[in-house]
Structure 1
Amino acid sequence: MDARNTLPIAVIGAGPIGLAAAVHLLERGLEPVIFEAGPTAGAAIERWRHIRLFSPWRFNLDAAAVRLLDPTGWEPPRLTALPYGGELIDEYLAPLAALPAIGSRLKTGARVVAVTRAGLDKTHVRGRDTTPFIVRVEHNGGEVRDHTVAAVIDASGTWSARNPLGTSGLPAIGEDTAVDRISSPLPDVLGRERESFAGRRVLVVGAGHSAVNTLINLAELAKDEPGIRILWAVRGASAEKAYGGGDADGLPARGQLGGKLRRLVEAGTVELHTGFGISTLKSLDTHVSVEAADGRTLEADVVVPCTGFRPDLEILRELRLNLDPAVEAPVELGPLIDPEFHSCGTVPPHGARVLAHPEKDFYIVGMKSYGRAPTFLLATGYEQVRSVAAALAGDQAAADVVQLELPETGVCSTDAGTSCDTPAADTTASVEIGCCAAPEPVLVGFPTGLSHGRSGAL
């Protein structure tokens, strides 16, 4: 894209990666406009502000954002500490969004409903690469407006599109009508949503660290609320992957989680049901009946869907995308992040060339760029947007020089459903640990679960 273009560049999403994209564009002399569906920056992370990350602060800060914050008197956090989601917002994202350079370009309560080329649907070719984009946005109050922009960076994450509870990638029969019995993917069991779980039969579905977090928190709640019955359903034949590597785990905080959950299962505090592929949810007057494909049935008052996330591609329907058929990431990135073969520590650094689509000057970044794969890191996303900003500014040489040093992280790969940026349960660990940590935790490294992995990222 010609850096002299007078049109702004749309950034979809004001999470960590979206805000970093805006800062890198500003450093390149380009004009961003940021559309955030929520009421504030980091709105998706706000849903799991009670969760602590696996990764320390030093992996969660973007260098360009820090350069913008430093002259303002901003106090950087202790780089070896493990932040909660709320701290990620309060100590980093909120101060960044409040800066005039960002705040004046941030539109909150602005949900992007479609992206296309001005006057062209995806079937038209002539002049496509030089035609501006139209970003259709539903603003607060229901007003819908079209915004004309020179390029689009989609950093909207995956928090809004969780995987279904059913098998084969489909919702279980009756899942849509049981929504009143299904919680959010990372409920605040010990805080804001405590009353929804006290004295209830709670079924947690999934084998990733979102499930692990929730189960451990439910066990804590059960100490004060003895009427709780905690059920855990996993599709696999065992829960070993959810328990992780224990003392051998490259991420100590994560290893502690798995060991704690194993002890809760062995003590009978958590009732584990393996090989439980959900086929049907039947809404009854007082609860929901959850039936497995083999005929087994569990009765629950609340179901927690720790089943992972997938990208919402509907808003991009009129764009020419080239996506990996398995993980729904950009086609060149897909084989590099397939969770069956790669972990967050083995995915090579990548930038604009790998993220490019046939649609010129359009990029998906952050957790959404990883599609259904769970191994996304905030640090990876920051390098993505640095490269993309350079490419949009016409500096292809800088865009092509991608660097990202990540330490080894033990059993970070194929962990049955958790992003490397997945939130961790509360722990007092404050050690210098590896790479892992909305949504986008995600989530942001985000939480994931049952089938392939998470969050989102963030």
Structure 2
Amino acid sequence: MTSVAVIGAGPYGLSIAAYLRDYGVNTRVFGIPLDTWRDHMPAGMLLKSDGFASNVYGPKAVGTLAEYCRENGIPYHDTDIPVPLQVFGDYAADFQRRFVPDLEEVLVSGLAREGSGFRLTLTDGQDVWADRVVCAVGITHFARTPRELRGLPAERISHTYDVHDPSVFAGRDVTVIGAGSSAVDTAVLLAEAGATVSLVARANEVKFGGDPGPRGLWEKLRSPSSGVGPGLRNWLCEAMPSLFRFLPGELRLRLIRTHLGPKSPHHMKERFDAGVRTHLGRAITAAREVDGKVELSLSGGQTVTTDHVVTATGYYPDLARLKFLSDDLRRAVRTHSRMPMVSRWFESSVSGLYFVGPAAVDTFGPLMRFMVGAEYVAPRIAYRLARRAGAPVSVAQARPRRRRWLVR
């Protein structure tokens, strides 16, 4: 029996657990630490987020990436030095050991209502009862593949979520589908690992950000920086995420789909141009296996033949993809366009069941797609859970740390 069970051990799950542990709330945390980052992102990748926005968040402003790099002699800058995936993984593992040492490296295979609480079934055979449950599952369950490609044999197609070691494709012809940063990162790393790489996208160009360089005060005020990206709209997404839920449903869906469209960091352009062929302004109309290869039919009558297809087509937080939820529980959660709807405290229509991170994007907007969103979520939800568990906390502890809003 526990007061709170946290499902997931990524930046959101670890941040929430660190706060709850500091508040003295009886909490059990289940998951493989940083599984997505360690085993489902291409080795050698550089994080898209700046250093200041690449933290796991704990109370009292401790355990930051800057602190970890300083203590270990690793080059770091808030904005000017991209964060290598390996560095972030090592840092986050260190955070977990320090602030969530009782993490249980086991998965949840079932979640059902039991009386006024919940019963969790674990893959090691245990049953755990909890008063409240936080689903911090990240993107793990939500990879999206275009309908036209779903009939391909499993050995001929992968999602970027499954491409951790690009070297296994050395000497093969690989076609990447998409034009966003995930597509660019994967295509570049595959090419540098020895694959022959093409990129197919509906977009007419692959977009890259400009060189940030030094900015004057007026430019900083006109286009403020944030953990989501530069510009007033991005700043609003981070500074005031609680306002997003008041927008009309169709507008929320459009903003989720279009805000922060496909764009890669400027430092990837030279590497991309050097090793990746492109087929732009082309949609996939059909795909089939022919003699051990994949034949892609593109709009405009073009055909591409390749050994393997990698889809960099994103994620969609469809509640039905969370197979560990019981049918009864899934039906009881109110949704909008198949995404969970949550309160200002991240609680779903099922009392005591919370969703954070990408699963809460329909309520709190694009911020939930970034790890910096944990800075807003962790103190807020931990305060709520601590109050419900009877722990002595003040409303001030629900406020996220605020920094750098206008002038970085």
TM (norm. structure 1) is 0.64
CA distance in 2, matches of 1:244, 1:21: 33
| C-alpha contact (below 8 Å) 2:285/2:297 kept by paired residues | yes
Matched, 1:233 2:200: yes
Matched, 1:359 2:350: yes
Matched, 1:211 2:183: yes
Matched, 1:280 2:289: no
Matched, 1:33 2:33: no
Partner of 1:338: none
| Cα shift at 1:405 | 4.7
Q: Deviations over 1:334-358 (max 9, x none)?
A: xxxxxxxxxxxxxxxxxx6252322
TM (norm. structure 2) is 0.71
Alignment of 1:305-320 (within 5 A): 305-311=311-317, 312-316=321-325, 317=327, 318-319=329-330, 320=332
Matched, 1:323 2:335: yes
Decide whether aligned partners of structure 1 residues 66 and 51 sit closer, same or farther in structure 2, where only a CA change above 3 A counts. Answer: farther
CA distance in 1, matches of 2:310, 2:380: 38
Matched, 1:391 2:364: no
Task: Choose from 5, 9, 30 the match for 2:4.
Answer: 9
CA distance in 2, matches of 1:203, 1:163: 17
CA distance in 2, matches of 1:173, 1:186: 16
SS in 1 for 2:95: helix
The letter of the residue matching 2:38 is E
Decide whether aligned partners of structure 1 residues 381 and 171 sit closer, same or farther in structure 2, where only a CA change above 3 A counts. Answer: farther
CA distance in 2, matches of 1:34, 1:198: 38
SS in 2 for 1:393: helix
Decide whether aligned partners of structure 1 residues 407 and 277 sit closer, same or farther in structure 2, where only a CA change above 3 A counts. Answer: farther
| Cα shift at 1:188 | 6.3
Task: Choose from 130, 137, 156 the match for 1:156.
Answer: 137
Partner of 1:52: 46
The letter of the residue matching 1:214 is T
CA distance in 1, matches of 2:192, 2:11: 30
| Cα shift at 1:29 | 1.6
Alignment of 1:51-90 (within 5 A): 51-64=45-58, 75=71, 78=76, 80=78, 81-90=81-90
| Cα shift at 1:79 | 5.2
Matched, 1:135 2:120: yes
Decide whether aligned partners of structure 1 residues 213 and 255 sit closer, same or farther in structure 2, where only a CA change above 3 A counts. Answer: same
Matched, 1:147 2:128: yes
CA distance in 1, matches of 2:51, 2:289: 43
Matched, 1:19 2:30: no
The letter of the residue matching 1:33 is R
Partner of 1:182: 157
CA distance in 1, matches of 2:292, 2:101: 47
Structure having the higher helix fraction is: 2
Partner of 1:381: 374
| C-alpha contact (below 8 Å) 2:8/2:29 kept by paired residues | yes
Decide whether aligned partners of structure 1 residues 88 and 69 sit closer, same or farther in structure 2, where only a CA change above 3 A counts. Answer: same
| Cα shift at 1:66 | 7.1
Decide whether aligned partners of structure 1 residues 201 and 161 sit closer, same or farther in structure 2, where only a CA change above 3 A counts. Answer: same
| C-alpha contact (below 8 Å) 2:287/2:294 kept by paired residues | yes
SS in 2 for 1:103: coil
RMSD, matched Cα: 3.5
SS in 1 for 2:133: strand
Alignment of 1:401-412 (within 5 A): 401-402=399-400, 404-405=402-403, 407=405
Q: Deviations over 1:87-143 (max 9, x none)?
A: 1221x22223324x6233x111x2223322105xxxxxxxxxxx011122222xxx3
Q: Is there any run of 5+ residues in structure 2 with no aligned partner, and where?
A: 214-224, 231-262, 388-392
| C-alpha contact (below 8 Å) 1:245/1:258 kept by paired residues | no
Stretch deviating more after TM superposition (206-215 or 285-294): 285-294
The letter of the residue matching 1:220 is E
Identity score, percent: 23
Partner of 1:430: none
CA distance in 1, matches of 2:151, 2:127: 37
CA distance in 2, matches of 1:407, 1:235: 35
CA distance in 1, matches of 2:394, 2:354: 15
